[in-house]
Amino acid sequence: MRRLLGTLAVSATILATSHAASPFTDVSSNHWAYDAVNTVVQSGLMKGYTGGMFKGGEKVSRYQMAIIVSRLHDKIATGGSANVSPDVMQAMDRLGEEFMDELDLIGARLTALENAFHEHVSTTDGATMSTDGFKFSGDTRVRTEFRNIDYAANSGFYDEDTQTLVRTNLNIDKSVDKADFHVQLQHSTTMGDATGAAGTQLELHEAYVNLHIGDSSSLKMGRQEVSRGNESLIGSVNWSNTPMSYDGFVFSSNTDSFDYKLWTLSVANNGNTFGALPVAGTVDTQLNGADAWWKDVFDGALHVHYYNRVDGDAAATAGDRLDTYGFDWTRTHNEWDFYVQYAKQGGNDGAAGSLVDYDGDMMNLKVMYDFDNGHKAGLEYTNYSGDDAGAVGASVNSNGAFEALYPTGHKFLGAADIFTQSNIEDITIHWTKKANERNTFGLAYHMFKLDNSNTAVGLNAANTAGFIAPTLTPGTTSFNDDLGTELDLFWKHTYSKNVDFKVGYAMFSAGDYFTANKAAGTVAPDSNFGWVSTSVKF
- Note whether 39 and 19 are within 8 A (CB): yes
User: Does residue 363 have a pLDDT over 50?
Assistant: yes
User: Does residue 89 have a pLDDT over 80?
Assistant: no
Find the radius of gyration of the CA atoms of the chain: 25
User: Does residue 255 have a pLDDT over 70?
Assistant: yes
- Res 263: pLDDT: 96
- Res 276: pLDDT: 44
How would residue 75 be classed by pLDDT, with cut points 50, 70 and 90? low
Higher pLDDT residue, 368 or 26? 368
- Res 302: pLDDT: 94
User: Does residue 127 have a pLDDT over 90?
Assistant: no
How would residue 446 be classed by pLDDT, with cut points 50, 70 and 90? very high
How would residue 132 be classed by pLDDT, with cut points 50, 70 and 90? low
User: Does residue 525 have a pLDDT over 60?
Assistant: yes
- Res 262: pLDDT: 97
- Note whether 44 and 16 are within 8 A (CB): no
Cα–Cα distance, 522 to 532 (Å, whole number): 31
Beta partners for residue 490, in sequence order: 442, 504
Alpha-carbon dihedral 293, 230, 220, 313, rounded to 10 degrees:
-120
Question: What mean pLDDT is predicted for residues 349-376?
Answer: 83
Higher pLDDT residue, 491 or 108? 491
Collapsing DSSP states into helix, strand and coil, what is residue 128? coil
User: Does residue 314 have a pLDDT over 50?
Assistant: no
Higher pLDDT residue, 102 or 84? 102
- Res 331: pLDDT: 93
User: Does residue 86 have a pLDDT over 70?
Assistant: no
Hey, where are the domains in the chain?
2-98
Determine the angle formed by the axes of helices 2-15 and 62-77, rounding to 10 degrees: 40
Amino acid present at 520: A
Nearest to 508 by CA among 469, 451, 452, 464: 464
- Note whether 240 and 221 are within 8 A (CB): no
Question: What mean pLDDT is predicted for residues 415-438?
Answer: 92
User: Does residue 361 have a pLDDT over 80?
Assistant: yes
Which region, left, alpha or beta, applies to residue 74 given φ > 0 means left and ψ of -120 to 50 means alpha?
A: alpha
Collapsing DSSP states into helix, strand and coil, what is residue 116? helix
User: Does residue 538 have a pLDDT over 60?
Assistant: yes
Count Cα atoms within 13 angstroms, Cβ side, for 226: 30
| DSSP track, 377-434 | EEEEEEEE----TTSTT--TTEE-SPPPSB--STTTS-TT--B-SSSEEEEEEEEEEE
Tally helices (H) and strands (E) across the chain.
7, 21
Please provide the average confidence, as pLDDT, over all residues in the chain.
77
Nearest to 50 by CA among 70, 74, 17, 25: 25
Higher pLDDT residue, 393 or 425? 425
Residues 156, 157, 160, 165: is their CA dihedral positive or negative?
Answer: positive
Burial of 267 (0-12, 13-18, 19+ CB in 10 A): buried
pLDDT tens digit sequence for 177-189: 889 999 999 999 8
User: Does residue 473 have a pLDDT over 70?
Assistant: no
Vertex 222, ends 218 and 224: CA angle to 5°? 90
- Res 317: pLDDT: 53
User: Does residue 391 have a pLDDT over 60?
Assistant: no
φ, ψ (nearest 5 deg) of residue 469: -70, 155
| DSSP track, 318-333 | TT-EEEEEEEEEEEEE
User: Does residue 156 have a pLDDT over 50?
Assistant: no
Collapsing DSSP states into helix, strand and coil, what is residue 354? coil
- Res 239: pLDDT: 84
How would residue 305 be classed by pLDDT, with cut points 50, 70 and 90? very high
How would residue 404 be classed by pLDDT, with cut points 50, 70 and 90? confident
Question: What mean pLDDT is predicted for residues 452-471?
Answer: 74
* Helix, strand, coil share of the chain (percent; to 5): 15, 45, 45
Question: What mean pLDDT is predicted for residues 52-70?
Answer: 69
pLDDT tens digit sequence for 15-47: 444 445 556 666 666 666 666 677 667 666 676
Amino acid present at 225: E
Nearest to 538 by CA among 125, 68, 203: 125
Question: What mean pLDDT is predicted for residues 117-144?
Answer: 65
